[in-house]
Structures are given as C-alpha cells and as structure tokens.
A and B are shown apart, each in its own frame.
Chain A
C-alpha cells in the first residue's frame, strides 16, 4: 500500500482477533501489547473496546511454527486512534510478528462513533440467552397444555 500520498495525521481504526488459546487472564496483557504498538506511533487514542470472545463466521487458519492451526473462535477487539500514515506501515510490521494476533485490519475512519448497533455479545452470553428463550418457550407450551386440560374439564 502506498502510504506517501497523504502526510497529515488522520483517524484510523485497528480491529484485531487474538488467538482463542489464550486464557481470559492473559487477554489484558495481549491487548495491552497491541495498544503499546499503537502508542508508539500515535499520541491520541480516541476509542477502544477490549477483546471479547466471539464465534467466527468461518474457520481461520494461522501458521504457527510451520504448522497450520485452525480457529473457530477468537477474542475480537478494536482501537480507534489518530496517527500519521507512515506509522501504519510500522504498526502492520509489528502486528504481523505478534503470535497472539490471529488476524487484523486497519481502516481509515472518522472521529465520531460509527458503531450504532449493540456491543459485541460474547459467545457464552449468546448461548445462555438462547437457552433462556428456549426455556420460556417450553414453559409457555406447558401453560397452554394446562389451559387446554382445564377447558376440556369444564366442557365435560
């Protein structure tokens, strides 16, 4: 990519996946490392969301120690920051070397909040929400059966 066209600082956003093999306790350190890379090239961090554990839409392959590892889940986080275009190349170099980063994407964006939907729901919370919905449906079905029986008794 040609980073020389534009030399003024502009707003960027880095989205990244951390490998799911990390324990939850290791996440602040890993995301802190990514934040550290950004702090080296940027003075101004505008917004940030710490990594949350999510299910990926497809299997992502990363080569670790000459072996292809497959991942179906990852910790997804993002950071919005202001930096010079030259800094982005060094940031990408550093991210490529980091073994904890499964995949990343740097995009140009605007200072205002562009994220209008709800925040990312972690994979566990999603599963729990689905379970509670299923339970509610089950109880409703039971209630309907009870009503039907009561009506039949009344008719008889």
Chain B
C-alpha cells in the first residue's frame, strides 16, 4: 500500500471510531487480518490508537477474525 499523506479519520471528521464499523476497520487490515501500521496508512497517532482499540473490540466480538489464512 502506498503511503497516504492524509489521515482517513481526520478528513472524514470522525469523532470516535466504532468497533461495529467492520467495513471501515477492514480497510486497515492486511489479508491476513493483521493491523497495518499508521506509518503505512497515514492515520494520525490519535486515531491509530482508537483504531487499534476498535479492531481489538471487533475481534473479541467475532465481527473480525484474529487470523485469516
């Protein structure tokens, strides 16, 4: 993935990343369902922390996988 210069969540004015927004969270996962570093996706540090929290919550609720082959 090419590095984006703009943070997705800042440009979309997101207040809080919701763990139920599975379609959005999937954009920041590799095909193996691993999180992509903020350095690669251009997500700001503030939102990368929220994103990581949301992905982990979604994994616990079985909305996202922990591992995908």
**A residues within 8 Å of B by Cβ?**
15, 17, 54, 56-58, 60, 74, 76, 78, 103, 105, 107, 109-110, 112, 114-118, 120
Bound form: Cα–Cα A82–B66 in Å? 31
Bound form: Cα–Cα A56–B21 in Å? 15
B62 CB contacts on chain A under 8 angstroms: 17, 56-58, 60, 74, 103
Q: Mark B10-41, 1 if CB is under 8 A from A, else 0.
A: 00101111111111100000000000000000
Asked if A107 and B24 make an inter-chain contact with CB atoms under 8 angstroms apart, the answer reads no
Bound form: Cα–Cα A57–B61 in Å? 9
Bound form: Cα–Cα A120–B58 in Å? 13
Bound form: Cα–Cα A74–B66 in Å? 18
A58's contact among B15, B19, B66, by CB below 8 Å, is which?
Answer: B66
B57 CB contacts on chain A under 8 angstroms: 105, 107
Asked if B21 and A116 make an inter-chain contact with CB atoms under 8 angstroms apart, the answer reads yes
Asked if B16 and A105 make an inter-chain contact with CB atoms under 8 angstroms apart, the answer reads no
A57 CB contacts on chain B under 8 angstroms: 59, 62-65
Most chain A CB neighbours (cut-off 10 Å) among B18, B57, B63:
B18
Asked if A112 and B15 make an inter-chain contact with CB atoms under 8 angstroms apart, the answer reads yes
A15 CB contacts on chain B under 8 angstroms: 19-20, 61
Asked if A117 and B65 make an inter-chain contact with CB atoms under 8 angstroms apart, the answer reads no
Asked if B22 and A114 make an inter-chain contact with CB atoms under 8 angstroms apart, the answer reads no
Asked if B15 and A117 make an inter-chain contact with CB atoms under 8 angstroms apart, the answer reads no
What are the 5 closest A-B residue pairs judged by CB atoms, nearest first? A56-B62, A114-B18, A57-B65, A117-B21, A114-B16
Asked if B23 and A117 make an inter-chain contact with CB atoms under 8 angstroms apart, the answer reads yes
B19 CB contacts on chain A under 8 angstroms: 15, 105, 107
Minimum CB–CB distance for B54 against chain A, Å: 9
Asked if B24 and A117 make an inter-chain contact with CB atoms under 8 angstroms apart, the answer reads yes
Bound form: Cα–Cα A114–B57 in Å? 15
Asked if A105 and B18 make an inter-chain contact with CB atoms under 8 angstroms apart, the answer reads no
| Smallest CB gap from B20: residue in A | A115
| Smallest CB gap from A114: residue in B | B18
A76 CB contacts on chain B under 8 angstroms: 61, 63
Bound form: Cα–Cα A34–B62 in Å? 20
